[in-house]
Amino acid sequence: MAKFGEGDARWIVQERADGANVHNWHWAERDCLDWSRALLSKLLAGLPVLSGEGGLTLRTTTLDKLDGEAYVNIRKGKVIPGYELSLTLAWEADATTESGLVKVTGTAEVPYLADENADEDPELRITVRGDDGPLARRAKDAFIAHGKPLVIAKIRDYVAAMANGGPAKDEIDSKKISTKAAPAAVAPAPSVKVTAAPVQAPAAKEKKANGKDKEGFKTIEMTEKFNCRSKDIYEILMDDNRWKGFTQSNARISKDVGGQFSLFDGSITGVNEELQEGKLIVQKWRFGSWADGVHSTVRLVFDEPESGVTIIKLKQTDVPEEDRYGNSTVVENTEKGWKELIFQRIRAVFGFGV
């Protein structure tokens, strides 16, 4: 998991007065550590566990410690939580004995709570402070039996709150409401000359025979040069660990035709259609913000005109002019993303600069 604040600054949308997320390739990143400390303290401190049953009164007291990091990345209403935390919760028990009331104190420690294990209950270690005598062991066993399930349930509430956006949830919800309430925007007229054509059946969505882009979609083309062998940069583009290295974001990439891939923390997904090592990559490729069912086709052709020099020719067809939210900068930002967040980063990280 990339640490909060350590990513490339170009990926993060700076705070604006209007709260706008201005680039499709960028994420708004919100630090959630203080918010997490406050929420976990509210959820976990002062929990009644036993109220005199078996001669024991048992409760949690305070959240003694919370270390680590927590943040959410938000892009067009999509939330990607990130957290790696350890916490220590204090508890106490009052036991009624023949000699009077005896107090026992202890801790409940979660050594590792992380987004990567969000679907699993964390480990919870119960310890007693001071003398570990029969009464202390009795209190500890009672906390394991009755307190542990309560603590785990409250931690699940925290995990769910992070998945919903953490401290940014109200902001996300308000934007969703305003989007639903807003009237449908009238698409601006294109700045190119348009020749009237007869109304076509749904088949008009397919490309026309003359090779022009279908209406509402564009093609991106660029040529990039690298000081490396073609197989080297091919392997980088098809290896999820190296993707993680030069983007500082999560990636999963199948190396098989028909296999799926996920890039930039799931922002981009697709399927491999054709692969020739060191020569060709063809993929169905889409952003999560695009309308359902919309996929572009990415074609990367590798040429090595001389040893140690590789030319990549990129052609990406069927890129929508607008995303599902009506943003009309999709083509511009997709092209910018290829250049700045992929090709330039590969040159910088792996030393393939020209």
**Residue 243 backbone class (left: φ over 0; alpha: ψ -120 to 50; beta: rest):** alpha
- Predicted pLDDT at 95: 86
To which residue do tokens 């983007």 refer?
Answer: 247
**What is the average pLDDT value for the chain, to the nearest integer?**
81
Choice between 88 and 97, residue whose per-residue pLDDT is larger: 88
28-41 average pLDDT score:
88
* 3-18 per-position pLDDT tens digit: 555 544 444 444 444 4
**Per-residue pLDDT tens over the stretch 294-322:** 999 999 999 999 989 999 999 999 999 98
CATH C-level class of 27-169: alpha beta
Q: Token pair 């990607």 is at which residue? A: 80
Helix (H, G, I), strand (E, B) or coil at 204: helix
pLDDT of residue 116: 83
| Digit-coded pLDDT (tens) for 127-145 | 999 877 888 898 999 999 9
- pLDDT higher at 21 or 158: 158
**Mean pLDDT lowest among 122-126, 210-214, 249-253, 254-258:** 210-214
What pLDDT, on a 0 to 100 scale, did the predictor assign at position 173? Answer: 56
More confident residue, 60 or 329: 60
**Mean pLDDT, residues 331-342 taken together:** 91
- For the record, the structure tokens of 239 come out as 């290896």
Backbone angles phi, psi at 10, to 5 degrees: -70, -15
Instruction: Name 36's Cβ contacts closer than 8 Å, sequence gap at least 6.
Output: 66, 70, 83, 85, 158, 162, 166
Domain with CATH 3.15.10.20 in the chain: 27-169
Average of pLDDT values for 34-42? 93
pLDDT attached to residue 248: 84
Q: Pick the residue with more confidence: 316 or 195?
A: 316
pLDDT in tens, 240-267: 989 988 888 889 999 999 999 999 888 8
Mean pLDDT of 77-93: 88
pLDDT tens per residue across span 281-295: 999 999 988 998 999
User: Which of 31-40, 71-80, 115-124, 331-340 is least confident?
Assistant: 71-80
Can you tell me whether residue 60 is helix, strand or coil?
strand
In the chain, CATH 3.30.530.20 covers 215-348
Q: Cα separation of 322 and 54, whole Å? A: 65
Q: How confident is the model at residue 175 (pLDDT cuts 50, 70, 90)?
A: low
pLDDT tops 50 at residue 189? no
pLDDT given for residue 195 in this prediction:
39
Asked if the model's pLDDT at residue 180 lies above 60, the reply is no
What is the C-alpha separation between 133 and 137, in angstroms, rounded? 6
**Number of helices followed by number of strands (H, E) in the chain:** 8, 13
Q: What are phi and psi of 115, to 5 degrees?
A: -60, -30
| Residue 205 pLDDT greater than 90, yes or no | no
215-348: CATH, from 3.30.530.20, 3.40.1190.20, 3.40.50.720, 3.10.20.30 = 3.30.530.20
Residue 64 has pLDDT above 60, yes or no: yes
